[in-house]
């Protein structure tokens, strides 16, 4: 992309980053308010008669379905990406798309994204009761992924705010934060309970766990306490001697 080697972001790059953030927010809102009965696999008797209604195709009724909105968004997005990658960037950079490896890779990433979006539009959103992806079981991998998700800056906060915005609720935003935090606390308690259930009764903790957890924590606290002293001592490898060569005193 142009201006990647400079010490600032171009206007186009800022616009792209802002658009990607809006796209992720839109995806979350559509998923949270999913109503795709028209495309679902429910029995015909349980589905509203949209296609065969007496008044014909109702645009506003179809627009109530999140999949219809998603399809409109992605049609516009696909046209914009193909114009930007296929015409605008090659013209401004003076390099053909086929000879620009980074641009081809960027385009392939979008193609993969469009394929998965098309599959989701085809098969519909899951209609099961909502449950967070990382909280469906307490396997170690899911727990570590959940901790990573909670540790990423502002990701959890944005998810909670978007969910509250599009959900019918009598709670205010801060109560919604506390409610989601209570779910997280309950999930971690369940994980710890499952871990304890897998252990035998009165089974002692292993020596390896004592060394890796207990000793490392204690050693880390010692380093944290002595860090200012070590920083200005001779042990610091990056410290540079700065002896006084001369001085002057004026009265």
Q: How confident is the model at residue 173 (pLDDT cuts 50, 70, 90)?
A: very high
* Whole-angstrom distance, CA of residue 177 vs CA of residue 50: 38
DSSP secondary structure string, 86-104?
Answer: IIIHHHHHT--GGG-HHHH
Handedness of CA 104, 109, 112, 117 (dihedral sign): negative
More confidently predicted of 124 and 157: 157
pLDDT at 57 over 60: no
HSE value, Cβ hemisphere, 13 Å, CA-based, for 48:
13
How many Å is the maximal CA-CA distance in the chain?
A: 103
Q: What is the pLDDT of residues 93-109, one digit of tens each?
A: 888 888 888 889 999 99
Question: Of the candidates 128, 137, 134, which has an alpha carbon nearest to the alpha carbon of residue 156?
Answer: 134
pTM of the model: 0.64
Nearest to 93 by CA among 82, 107, 103, 83: 103
In sequence order, what DSSP letters do the residues of 139-163 get, joined into one string?
-HHHHHHHHHHHHSTTHHHHHHHHH
Q: How far apart are CA 137 and CA 133, in angstroms?
A: 9
Sketch the domain layout of the chain as residue ranges.
11-123, 131-198
Interatomic CA distance for residues 104 and 110, integer angstroms: 10
**Residue 99: which of 113, 89, 109 has the closest Cα?**
89
How far apart CA 140 and CA 198 sit, in angstroms, is 13
The two three-digit tokens of residue 123, written as one number: 């098969």
pLDDT averaged over the chain? 79
pLDDT band at 143, cuts 50/70/90? Answer: confident
């Amino acid at each position: 992309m142009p201006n990647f080697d400079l010490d600032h972001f171009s206007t186009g790059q800022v616009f792209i980053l802002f658009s990607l953030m809006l796209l992720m927010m839109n995806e979350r809102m559509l998923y949270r308010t999913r109503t795709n009965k028209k495309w679902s696999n429910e029995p015909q008797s349980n589905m509203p008669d949209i296609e065969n209604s007496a008044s014909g195709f109702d645009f506003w009724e179809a627009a109530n379905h999140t999949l219809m909105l998603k399809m409109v968004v992605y049609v516009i997005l696909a046209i914009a990406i193909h114009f930007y990658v296929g015409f605008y960037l090659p013209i401004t950079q003076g390099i053909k798309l086929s000879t620009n490896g980074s641009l081809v890779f960027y385009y392939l990433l979008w193609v993969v994204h469009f394929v998965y979006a098309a599959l989701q539009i085809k098969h519909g959103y899951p209609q099961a009761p909502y449950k967070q992806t990382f909280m469906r079981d307490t396997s170690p991998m899911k727990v570590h992924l959940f901790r990573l998700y909670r540790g990423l800056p502002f990701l959890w906060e944005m998810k909670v705010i978007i969910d509250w915005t599009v959900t019918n609720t009598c709670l205010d935003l801060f109560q919604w934060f506390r409610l989601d935090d209570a779910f997280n606390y309950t999930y971690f308690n369940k994980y710890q309970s499952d871990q304890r259930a897998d252990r035998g009764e009165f089974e002692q903790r292993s020596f390896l766990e004592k060394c890796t957890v207990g000793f490392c924590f204690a050693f880390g606290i010692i380093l944290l306490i002595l860090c200012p002293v070590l920083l200005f001592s001779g042990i610091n490898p990056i410290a540079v001697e700065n002896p006084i060569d001369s001085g002057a005193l004026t009265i």
